[in-house]
Structure 1
Amino acid sequence: MCKHRHFIIYKPYRFLSQFKSNDSKQQKKHFLGELHDFPEGTMAIGRLDEKSEGLLFLTTNGQTSDFINSQKVEKEYYAQVNGDITPEAIEQLKQGVEIGFNGKKYKTKPCKVFKLGALPELPETTQKIRDDRHGPTSWISVTLNEGKFRQVRKMTSAVGFPTLRLARVRIGDVLIDSMQPGDVIEVSKLLR
Structure 2
Amino acid sequence: MSRLILLNKPFGVLSQFTGGKDGVDDTLAHLVDVPGVYPAGRLDKDSEGLLLLTDDGRLQARIAEPKFKTAKTYFVQVEGVANEPALDALRAGVKLNDGMTRPAQAQLIEPPEIWDRIPPIRVRKSIPDSWISVTISEGRNRQVRRMTAAVGLPTLRLVRWRVGEWAVDTLAPGEWREIDI
TM-score when scaled to structure 2? 0.93
* Cα distance in 1 for residues equivalent to 2:131 and 2:73: 13
CA deviations over 1:27-74 (Å, ceiling 9, x no partner): 4760111112111x3110001000000001000111110111233321
Paired with 2:71 and 2:22, the residues of 1 have a C-alpha distance of 31
What is the CA deviation profile of residues 114-145 of structure 1, one whole-angstrom value per residue up to 9, with x for unaligned ones? 000x2101111113312251311000000011
**Alignment correspondent of 2:14:** 16
Q: CA-to-partner distance for each residue in 1:11-34, whole Å, 9 max, x for gaps?
A: 00000001112x7x4647601111
1:89-108 matched pairs, under 5 angstroms: 89-100=86-97, 105-108=98-101
Alignment of 1:32 onto 2:24: no
For 1:55 and 1:121, the matched residues in 2 are separated by 15
C-alpha distance in 1, partners of 2:89/2:49? Answer: 25
How far apart, CA to CA, are the structure 2 residues paired with 1:44 and 1:173?
A: 16
Could you tell me the percent identity over the aligned residues? 40
List structure 1 runs of 4+ shifted beyond 4 angstroms: none
- The equivalent of 1:148 in structure 2 is 140
Q: TM-score, normalised by structure 1?
A: 0.88
SS in 1 for 2:139: coil
| Inter-partner Cα distance in structure 1 for 2:57 and 2:89 | 35
Paired residue for 2:131? 139
Is the Cα–Cα contact under 8 Å of residues 10 and 181 in structure 1 kept in the other structure?
Answer: yes
Code of the residue aligned with 1:68 in structure 2: it is I
Letter in 2 for 1:88: P
Which sections of structure 2, spanning at least 5 residues, go unmatched? none
> Secondary structure of the residue that 1:133 maps to in structure 2?
coil
Q: Aligned pairs, how many?
A: 179
CA distance in 2, matches of 1:28, 1:172: 29
* Structure 1: stretches of 5+ with no match in the other structure: none
